[in-house]
Structure 1
Amino acid sequence: MSDTRLALDLALTVRHDGRGGVADDLGTPEGLTTWVHERPGLLGRVPQADVRAVDAWEADEESLAAVRSLRAAVRALFAHAVRPGEPSPADARDLMPVPEALDRINAAAAVVPTVPRLDWPDEGDPLVSHHPTGAALHQDALPAALARAVIGFLAGPDRASLRACHAPRCVRYFVKAHPRQEWCKPSCGNRARVARHHERHRSSHP
Structure 2
Amino acid sequence: MELASTIRHDGEGGVVDDLATVRGTTRWIQQQAGNLAPQEFLTGELLVDEELRDGIVGVRRAVRALFARVVSPAPPSPADAHLLMPPAEALAHLNAAAARELVAPQLDWPAEGAPVARLLSAEGDPRVRLVAALARDAVDFLSGPEREQLRACHAPRCVRYFIKSHGRQEWCRPSCGNRARVARHYERTRGAAGGEGTAGR
TM-score (norm 2): 0.89
Deviation digits for residues 161-206 of structure 1, max 9, x if unmatched? Answer: 0000000111000001111111111111111000000110011111
Percent identity at matched positions? 53
RMSD between aligned residues: 1.7
Number of matched pairs = 193
Look up the match of 1:166. Answer: 154
Aligned residue runs from structure 1 range 1-206, under 5 A? 8-40=1-33, 42-45=35-38, 52=40, 54-56=42-44, 57-132=46-121, 134-206=122-194
> Is the contact made by 2:151 and 2:161 (CA closer than 8 Å) also made in structure 1?
yes
Go from structure 1 to structure 2 and tell me whether the alpha carbon gap of 1:100 and 1:143 turns closer, same or farther (over 3 Å shift): same
Q: Tell me how far apart the structure 1 counterparts of residues 80 and 183 of structure 2 sit (CA, whole Å).
A: 22
Q: Which runs of 4+ in 1 moved over 4 A?
A: none
2-structure distance, mates of 1:184, 1:196:
17
Deviations 1:82-137 (A, max 9, x none): 122110011112210111111111111111111111233344443322111x3432
What is the rounded CA distance, in whole Å, between the counterparts of 1:94 and 1:74 in structure 2?
A: 13
Structure 2 stretches lacking a partner, 5+ long: 195-201
TM normalised by structure 1 equals: 0.87
Asked whether the equivalents of residues 156 and 180 of structure 2 are also in contact (C-alpha less than 8 Å), the reply is yes
- Structure number with greater CO (CA < 8 Å, separation at least 6) is 1
Summarize the Cα distance change of 1:196–1:114 in structure 2 as closer, same or farther, 3 Å threshold.
Answer: same
State the alpha-carbon separation in 2 of the partners of residues 152 and 162 from structure 1.
14
Task: Kindly name which structure, 1 or 2, has the bigger radius of gyration based on alpha carbons.
Answer: 2
Kindly provide the amino acid, as one letter, of the partner of residue 161 in structure 1. Answer: Q
Alpha-carbon distance in 1 for matches of 2:91, 2:180: 33
Distance in 2 (CA, whole Å) between partners of 1:188 and 1:95 is: 24
**Partner SS state of residue 37, structure 2:** helix
Distance in 2 (alpha carbons) for counterparts of 1:42 and 1:18: 25
